[in-house]
Homo-oligomer: A and B are copies of this chain.
Amino acid sequence: MSLLTVGTLAFDDIKTPFGHAEKVIGGACTYISWSASYFTDNINLVSIVGADFPDEELKTLESRGVDLSGLEIKQDGKTFFWAGEYHDNMNKRDTLVTDLNVLDDFDPVLPEHFKKSDYVMLGNLTPSIQAQVLDQFVDRPKLIALDTMNFWMDIAMEELKAVIARIDLLIINDEEARQLSGEYSLVKAAEMIHELGPKSLIIKKGEHGALLFHKGEMFFAPALPLSEVYDPTGAGDTFAGGLMGYLAKTDDTSFENLKRAIIYGSTMASFCVEAFSLDKLKVLNQDMIRERAESFKKIASFTL
C-alpha cells in the first residue's frame, strides 16, 4: 500500500553532551520517510525545500522508494533550519534558532496520483496546512495519522481540534495528551481525545515506552533501556515512520497489528537515538531490525 508523508525537510544544528552536529539533515518528513522506507518502497512525500538542500539527499530518498513529485524546490529560498541543544540527561532541550525560511510559503499541492494514497502520515505542521492536505483527497484514505505539538495547542487549539476530528490515529506525547485533554490521568485523557474524533491514540513516553488506546482496548508498549542516547532528535518522527511504514506494508489496522506497528516504530526510534541526525537510520538492514524488535519482545515477556 502507498504511504503519504507530509512534513518538513530541514537542516538541523544539534548540540548534545556527546558533541555538536552542524547543519546536518533533519526534518520530520525526512525521519518519517527514511524510517518507513524499511517497510515499504511506495512512499509519496509532500514537502518544501530551498535550493540549498543537497541533491544527493533527495536522490538517496528516491532510491529508497520515495516519490518526490510532491516536493517543491524553491530556487530563491532557503530550507527550514532548526538549532537546539540537549542538556545532561537528554530529556530537556532548548530550541536556539527556528528559521522557517521556505516553510513560510508552504502550500502543499498533492500531485494527482498522491490523492489515492492508502495511508497518510501528517507530520507536525500548522494544523491548517495539515487540513489543507486532507481537503485534497477525493476518497478517504484507509488510515490518517497525525502528529502535533504543544505549540499549536497554545496558539491554534480550535484549528487543531478541527483537523484532529478528521483523523483516525493521533500520535502525541504524554505532556501533549494532558494539555490537549486537560486531564492528568492518561486513561481519562484518552477518553476525552476519543471524543474529539480519533478512534486510536498513541501516547509516546520516551524512555518509558508508549500507550495505545484503541476502541476501548489498551496496550502498554515497552521501551528498550539504552546505555547511551546520543541524539534524541527525530526519534518521535522515526517512531511514526516505522509505525506507518509497517501499517502500509501489512495493510491491517486491527488492534493486534497496531501493537506490532508500535513495536516496529519503537525499534526504529531506538536506532535513531544511537547516532546524530540520520546516520544510524541510513545503515540499517532487515536483520538488524528484526533482531532489535525481538529484543523488545524479550524484555517485555512474562508468564503468570
Given A263-B304, A297-B304, A304-B297: A209 and B211 within 8 A (CB)?
A: no
Closest to A258 in B: B302
A225's partner among B220, B293, B304 (CB-CB below 8 A) is: B220
Query: How far, in Å, is A265 (CB) from chain B's closest CB?
Result: 12
Q: Does A142 contact B (CB under 8 A)?
A: no
Q: Is the CB of A226 within 8 A of B294?
A: no
Q: Give the chain B neighbours of A211 by CB distance below 8 A.
A: 225
Q: Does A196 contact B (CB under 8 A)?
A: no
Copies of this subunit = 2
Q: Does A208 contact B (CB under 8 A)?
A: yes
Given A88-B184, A185-B228: A218 and B299 within 8 A (CB)?
A: yes
Q: Is the CB of B187 within 8 A of A260?
A: no
Q: Does A256 contact B (CB under 8 A)?
A: yes
Q: Does A23 contact B (CB under 8 A)?
A: no
Q: Is the CB of B302 within 8 A of A259?
A: yes
Q: Is the CB of B303 within 8 A of A256?
A: yes
Q: Give the chain B neighbours of A297 by CB distance below 8 A.
A: 302, 304
Q: Is the CB of A219 within 8 A of B263?
A: no
Q: Give the chain B neighbours of A205 by CB distance below 8 A.
A: 208
Given A89-B184, A184-B88, A208-B209: A302 and B219 within 8 A (CB)?
A: yes
Q: Does A186 contact B (CB under 8 A)?
A: yes
Q: Is the CB of A226 within 8 A of B304?
A: no
A187's partner among B208, B220, B222, B226 (CB-CB below 8 A) is: B226
Q: Give the chain B neighbours of A186 by CB distance below 8 A.
A: 207, 225
**Chain A to chain B contacts (Cβ below 8 Å), 6 pairs:** A88-B184, A185-B229, A211-B225, A220-B300, A293-B304, A297-B302
Query: Given A209-B220, A263-B302, list of 14 further CB < 8 A pairs?
Result: A88-B184, A185-B225, A187-B226, A187-B227, A188-B227, A218-B225, A219-B299, A220-B222, A220-B223, A220-B225, A221-B302, A222-B222, A260-B302, A297-B304
